[in-house]
Structure 1
């Protein structure tokens, strides 16, 4: 079976970049009409690829693995490998079906400019996770979109050491214009030890969003911004808790 997946990039309209700490609790976020996609199909090994555009010739980057995860990070396709590694660690069903059914080829493409502030790295992780769910027919109750969004956050934060929040991971899967609430997620605990994000669609009340998204060509590491804010916020919050009422 061959699958084609497509998901949108996102913008945070209000509250950015507070989704990595709990200070403002929420963002108003929206999916936009820039996309990334993946083709997922059978292969003898587990093959990960990046191509310039969907269905365009040769891969920009390609790695193949004959054995099971975890796969090493070496600066090439680390987002895709991180998704496979995290799914393998999280899901007994995936581990079993990978062993039984063999490999898969996941080939990703994106329209989103690198480091443009539109959550482009998360799109590649989400596509890999969703591709594994579809191809190996993983239980959608256990591997639902909330779980995939949380796994994506752990890939970037835990596997790759990028300070990040949750908006980039939820909005491409749930779509639309939304109020996204992060209460209870300050410490980024393991899945099941903190609440999921609350995602409330606002589309029915706002039929059109009068905004234009422009990219100046200036690139920024969002993890650097989040890291400064989150570190400082956690310090201040701990100080408040020590001095607060018992």
Structure 2
């Protein structure tokens, strides 16, 4: 039996410049995805989110619209699993990360399946290779417009400053694509004054990112300059976080959100919860991931008051950012 788990994540400052060669400060969540893989004698069976399918031939790996099993099919295709040739197994992936909430829930599931199948195939990759592989599958196979934050956070976990320099010119990856620079910050912090609130509105991050991505590719000045500024905010944000300078970090987070909102990357449900957080004692609040629904992150020194205000405003769920392990793979004999 192989058991793999991976966390969700929330962007504190800098997102979404992981798509544009920028910088991001991000923290994992306590909520995790998990994949259990058991070697079997009969056939390959995949289960995700309660849906199951037996994989008899390569035709069974064809992607289907709106099907949770696509994440497992994509991994099997990418790792060249061949029914009748690869030693059979039963795979079951689950998650307690709210799905389509801007917390990298689907990426975390994808990472756990990658980790479990790599172990089954006895393929050993370093964490950077795993992060890049997970992102390549999501972008090239699942056709999701995405950056690199989700994949590195699912793999590394923790609280990190991440630099994605030179990862903006081509969204597809090849051997020349550089790795991200990952700087762990959790060892230097004793407290994290953040609260996450999920709006309850589901979205697909690609639908939020794609139009702004197109505008960036076309060289729209507001998008290009806005994302250069957000990346700079993240670099200053690292310093503010390490210094426990919450007023400065609040200013940076607020500016980050203002730029993304003005570019059309937020949404009514996001703005309602941000207003509630600010009215409930938070000194800053912004998108934790993509907009159009999803989750907001609030910087607050009065978490109980802020949480109550968010719940009173209709937040679907309150979560607490927690630096935790990235992708873990355990093999039980």
Coarse TM-score class (shorter-chain normalised): 0.7 to 0.9
Partner of 1:110: 95
Q: SS of the counterpart of 1:31?
A: strand
Distance 1:192 1:177 in 2: 27
How far apart are the structure 1 equivalents of 2:59 and 2:75?
10
Provide the C-alpha distance between the structure 2 equivalents of 1:6 and 1:157, rounded to a whole number of angstroms: 21
8 Å contact from structure 1 (residues 125, 152) kept in 2 = yes
4+ residue runs over 4 A deviation: 98-101
CA deviation after TM superposition for structure 1 residue 101, in Å: 4.9
1:69 and 1:145 mapped to 2: Cα distance?
Answer: 31
Deviation at 1:45, TM superposition (A): 2.0
Q: How does 1:194-205 map to 2 (within 5 A)?
A: 194-205=177-188
Shift of 1:189: 3.7
Kept after mapping to 2: 8 A contact 1:69/1:85:
no
| Matching residue of 1:224 | 207
Listed one character per residue, the Cα deviations across residues 89-147 of structure 1 (whole Å, up to 9, x for unaligned) are xxxxx77xx86552121101100122111001101111111001111211x2xx22212
1:48 matched residue in structure 2:
46
Partner of 1:57: none
Query: 1:64-213 alignment to 2 at 5 Å?
Result: 64-68=54-58, 71-75=61-65, 76=67, 77-88=69-80, 101-138=86-123, 140=124, 143-186=125-168, 187-213=170-196
Q: Tell me the TM-score normalised to structure 2 length.
A: 0.61
CA distance change for structure 1 residues 209 and 81 in 2, over 3 Å: closer, same or farther?
same
Question: What residue ranges of structure 2 are gaps of 5+ in the alignment?
Answer: 225-333
CA displacement at 1:216 relative to structure 2: 1.9
User: In 2, distance between residues paired with 1:7 and 1:159?
Assistant: 20
User: Tell me, what secondary structure is at the counterpart of 1:161?
Assistant: coil
Cα 1:229–1:6 shift into 2, 3 Å = same
Question: How far has the Cα of 1:37 moved from its partner?
Answer: 0.4
How many angstroms does 1:190 deviate by? Answer: 2.5
CA distance in 1, matches of 2:126, 2:219: 35
Cα distance in 2 for partners of 1:237, 1:196 equals: 27
Q: Helix, strand or coil: the match of 2:152?
A: helix
Q: What RMSD in Å do the two structures reach over aligned CA positions?
A: 2.1
Judged with a 3 Å threshold, the aligned counterparts in structure 2 of structure 1 residues 152 and 159 are, in CA distance, closer, same or farther, namely same
Measured after TM superposition, the shift of residue 191 of structure 1 is: 3.2
Q: Distance in 2 between matches of 1:113 and 1:133?
A: 26
Distance 1:203 1:182 in 2: 20
Distance in 1 separating the partners of 2:133 and 2:27: 21
In structure 1, the gaps of 5 or more residues are 52-59, 89-93, 241-246
Query: How far off is 1:83 after superposition?
Result: 1.4
Q: In structure 1, how many angstroms separate the alpha carbons of the residues matched to 2:154 and 2:172?
A: 22
Answer whether contact 2:8 2:97 (CA < 8 A) is retained.
Answer: yes
Partner Cα separation in structure 1 for residue 172 and residue 205 of structure 2 = 21
For the Cα contact (< 8 Å) 1:188–1:194, is it kept in 2?
no
Question: Relative to structure 1, is the Cα distance of residues 171 and 207 closer, same or farther in structure 2, using a 3 angstrom cutoff?
Answer: same
1:159 deviation in Å?
1.1
Partner of 1:8: 7
CA distance in 2, matches of 1:173, 1:216: 26
Supply the distance in 1 between the matched residues of 2:63 and 2:2 (Cα, whole angstroms).
Answer: 26
Partner Cα separation in structure 2 for residue 78 and residue 28 of structure 1 = 30
- Secondary structure of 1:13's partner? strand
